[in-house]
Amino acid sequence: MSAHAHADSGHGAGHNPFEQHIHPPPTSFFYKYIWSTDHKVIAKQFMWAGLVFLLFGGLLAMMIRWQWAFPGTKVPVLGIFLRRSGGIVTPANYQSIFTMHGLIMIFFAITPLLIGMFGNFCIPLMIGARDMAFPFLNALSFWTFVVSLVLIVTSFFVQLGTAGAGWTTYAPLSTNVGTPGLGQTLVVAAIFVTGAASIMGGINYITTVIRLRAPGMGWFKMPGTVWGLWLTSILNVLFIPVLGAAAILLILDRTAGTQFFIAGAAGVQGGGDPLLYQHLFWIFGHPEVYILILPAWGILVDLVSFFSRKPAYFYKGSVYAMIAVTVLSAIVYGHHMFVTGMNPMLGKTFMLFTLIISVPAEVLFLNWLHTIWKGSIRLTTPMLFALGTIFVFGLGGLTGIFLGTVSTDLYLHDTMFVVGHFHLTMAAAAFLAIFGGIYFWFPKMFGRMMDEKLGKIHFWGSVVFITLVFCGQMLAGYSGQQRRLYDPFQYTYIKHLRSLNWWTSMFAFMLLGFQVPFILNFFKSLIAGETATQNPWQVGTLEWTHASSPPVHHNFDVIPTVYRGPHEYAHPDAQRLLGKDWIGQAEELPSEPHGAAAGGGAADAVAGPVRE
Amino acid sequence: MAAGVSQKAAAVTMGDVVPYRSPRAQRDWTSYLGMVIFLGSWAVLFAALFFSYLYLRAHTPVWPPVGSPRLPLTLPALNTGVIVLTSVMMHLGLMAIRRRRNGVGGTLLLGTFALGSLFLVLQTVVWLRMWDQGLVPQAGQYASVFYALTWFHAVHVVVGLVALLALAVKTWLGKYNAAKHGGVLLWTIYWHFVGVVWLLMFLLVYLV
């Protein structure tokens, strides 16, 4: 795979309507690594930013867990960041810590990793494009995101500290009445800016998928990963603006003295309405939940099929299920507001729509199980993470039913049960899927394999303890422990949950400990991992069959022509004619068994690169 | 005869399955799609702002609240006329460029810029007058809605004006021409969008 762009410049790209322009790779350091318009570089930029902030958010979580296990005692190691209070988490610190844990994890860890990294890396490579539709906008999206990171980091160093109104930033707590100080304003501004970055990314992903698919890459020949990311982008583009509107109004309330969200503060003229903020927030907030899980679902559809060596069961059904969830996610937000004095009739309607979502979710779930059923399962690290994701998502999904139902939600609302539930879906499922994806695409991104042994240690430690942590939280919540309590054991009725909380905290610390194998593995593999072949997993999607590891700047020397779907495994014709259990998406079946040619595969004559 | 027909049909199915479009036309189409998606997204943002306004209004017994000064109608109505005129003018500019009349096109774009600036001037007069009558942003919901919506719209007008100036210059210099004017097209769509938002704003904030 030493052939380069100029090698095929004689192809007459202008004659093929699908052929895309080949831009020469940048040579200066600045354009190569900083302001790069290459989707693969931008994916890695999002990855680094996301992983650093994932660790940051994780350490904040450890401080919360410490506080719940040993309230008011000196925090070991991390205490150095709490110098002013002598290493102890004070109530004010505590507010900021859980607020920033939530915001950082959602907007600055999961979003860049799941959407920024996988979206950028996978979409062009999997659909057979040379880059995104708008490479400049793509770079702009990343650097806008960096601006929001700067705002977030700055907010920690201003007077009165960073935001403290909870990740939901509910008014009036988030107005000057509840959280005076610049920190909260900076964080709200950061959310607006990061939202703008997400919208830029979303526009790019949607357009790229519509316009730049390789010839033959029909909608139902796209890998599940691309479907998941595409639907997520649609939700992003439609609903992040609503959060943007809420953020603008909140910033105006905080800085210009307008009164959108402060009740009754305006005397005779009447003030704003805090409930308006909740409406705006959840109109965005509920789709956001699916924004964070749809790419994971898409990745699962692919990984489960790839490593069961079977076609994805009822693939179209999985895609339609994801579309159905995308549509339904827009009309269920009211279940977050059952206790706000909502009209009972409206509450019931929201409950109905919410519970209906479990139908398409169930279709997806059963399709995954059916795909695994009787497959020749290869328990590689990515597959283990995929199975782990299915497990924790199942738990999260089932416990969601209690919260979507009005009668049970009235009791469970604002308890640790809610916290455990949404962590199982948004945190556990999203992160296990992210790790699965990293283990899977790492060879393609960096040209080196990750260590399977460390990967498996990381997997078992993570899946066991992440389940225990969040199930522990749900138990505490079911027993009545409210969420966000600084010292829960001040309340007599929670006192007996002390040992449960202690154990949950221990599990959380173990969970953090088991991330060490990942960090070791990541850097070890990056520097000295085994060199990856072009297609180490023997799968048929374009990034593995037609791009080298790592891909060249323009991805494909010739844009491949796609003949079939992404999940062609255990195909008898392939077995007979090619002597292997899979067919590439752009691989033509020879009319006669192809015995002599080493490496097999007629399509490679077109593609050029050697497969293994 | 029959053979001829079938041959023709075969040519259609075997040959140009994908109608030929020049790479530039394809890229223009892609940019157009991206702009439409962006404006769709931004329309939701404005929709959320309008929703906030209507939500607050629906929860207030009297609107405008007792004691609030009435918003003027004449100047905003005049401004509505101005904004409609700018949209028409910009569209004519685009047409002129398409008909290879760059000089006319550039002048029309500059005219759009001038009228757009007039819009901002008139809007500023309205703000100042209301401010003098005591309608400051801190004066309650009514003022909040008025300033938040009009400010946010004005920001979009300013962005459009900066672009218009650049477009006019580039058209005169021949950087945009009949064969290559994707940028003008995209900004025209944007400007129409800002105009439509103003029409809704005039209707919802000033009129009803």
pLDDT of res. A18: 60
Cα distances from A556 to residues A31, A135, A575, A608, B171, in angstroms, run: 21, 16, 27, 10, 37
Give me the mean pLDDT over the A579-584 stretch: 92
Query: A151 with A187: CB under 8 angstroms?
Result: yes
Per-residue pLDDT in tens (0 to 9) along chain B, 208 residues: 344 444 444 444 444 455 667 888 888 999 999 999 999 999 999 999 999 999 999 988 888 888 888 899 999 999 999 999 999 999 999 999 999 999 999 999 999 999 999 999 999 999 999 999 989 988 888 899 999 999 999 999 999 999 999 999 999 999 999 989 999 999 999 999 999 999 999 999 999 8
Predicted complex ipTM: 0.90
For chain B, list the domains and their CATH numbers: 24-207 (1.20.120.80)
Q: Which amino acid is residue A274, in one-letter code?
A: P
Contact yes or no for A245 and B45 at CB 8 A: yes
Q: Rounded to whole angstroms, how far apart are CA atoms A610 and A578?
A: 15
Q: Rounded to whole angstroms, how far apart are CA atoms A386 and A376?
A: 15
Phi, psi of A531 (to 5 degrees): -65, 135
Which of chain B's residues have a Cβ under 8 Å away from the Cβ of A268? Answer: 65-67
Say whether pLDDT at A265 is over 80.
Answer: no
pLDDT of res. A597: 47
Give me the mean pLDDT over the A421-433 stretch: 96
Domain boundaries, chain A: 324-532, 548-612
Q: Rounded to whole angstroms, how far apart are CA atoms B3 and A257?
A: 80
Which of chain B's residues have a Cβ under 8 Å away from the Cβ of A259? Answer: 138, 140-141, 144
The nearest CA of chain A is from the CA of B96 a distance in Å of: 28
Cβ-Cβ contacts under 8 Å for B79 (sequence gap 6 or more): B119, B122, B123, B126, B198, B202
Q: Rounded to whole angstroms, how far apart are CA atoms A382 and A305?
A: 12
Phi, psi of A24 (to 5 degrees): -65, 145
Alpha-helical runs (H) found in A373-448: 381-404, 406-412, 416-422, 430-446
Interval B56-106: pLDDT, tens: 999 888 888 888 888 999 999 999 999 999 999 999 999 999 999 999 999
Which of chain B's residues have a Cβ under 8 Å away from the Cβ of A239? Answer: 44
Count of CB atoms within 10 A of residue B70's CB?
10
Give me the residue from B34, B49, B60 closest to A133, CB to CB: B34
Interval A90-124: pLDDT, tens: 999 999 999 999 999 999 999 999 999 999 999 99
Which of chain B's residues have a Cβ under 8 Å away from the Cβ of A207? Answer: 30, 33-34, 37
Give me the mean pLDDT over the A254-282 stretch: 81
Which of chain A's residues have a Cβ under 8 Å away from the Cβ of B49? Answer: 245, 248-249
Contact yes or no for B34 and A14 at CB 8 A: no
Query: A393 with A421: CB under 8 angstroms?
Result: no
Query: A497 with A481: CB under 8 angstroms?
Result: yes
Residue among B124, B126, B196 nearest B160 (CA):
B196
Give me the mean pLDDT over the A482-491 stretch: 94
Summary count for chain A: helices (H), strands (E):
22, 0
Contact yes or no for A269 and B141 at CB 8 A: yes
Contact yes or no for B144 and A237 at CB 8 A: no
Contact yes or no for A269 and B140 at CB 8 A: yes
Full-prediction pTM beyond 0.90? Answer: yes
**Chains A, B: CB contacts under 8 A, how many?**
125
**Is the CB of A268 inside 8 Å of chain B's CB atoms?**
yes
Which of chain A's residues have a Cβ under 8 Å away from the Cβ of B25? Answer: none
Which of chain A's residues have a Cβ under 8 Å away from the Cβ of B140? Answer: 259, 266-267, 269-271
The nearest CA of chain B is from the CA of A259 a distance in Å of: 6
Indicate the average pLDDT of chain A: 91
Query: A199 with A236: CB under 8 angstroms?
Result: yes
Q: Rounded to whole angstroms, how far apart are CA atoms A161 and A92?
A: 9
Cα distances from B157 to residues A504, B44, B81, B86, B191, in angstroms, run: 54, 18, 15, 11, 8
* Residue in B with minimal Cα distance to A137: B34
Give me the residue from B37, B41, B66 closest to A268, CB to CB: B66
Cα distances from B169 to residues A49, A335, A486, B112, B162, in angstroms, run: 40, 53, 61, 13, 11
**Is the CB of A581 inside 8 Å of chain B's CB atoms?**
no
Say whether pLDDT at A611 is over 50.
Answer: no
The nearest CA of chain B is from the CA of A571 a distance in Å of: 29
Give me the mean pLDDT over the A46-53 stretch: 98
- Among 1.10.3720.10, 3.40.50.920, 1.20.120.140, 1.20.210.10, name the CATH number for the domain at A324-532: 1.20.210.10
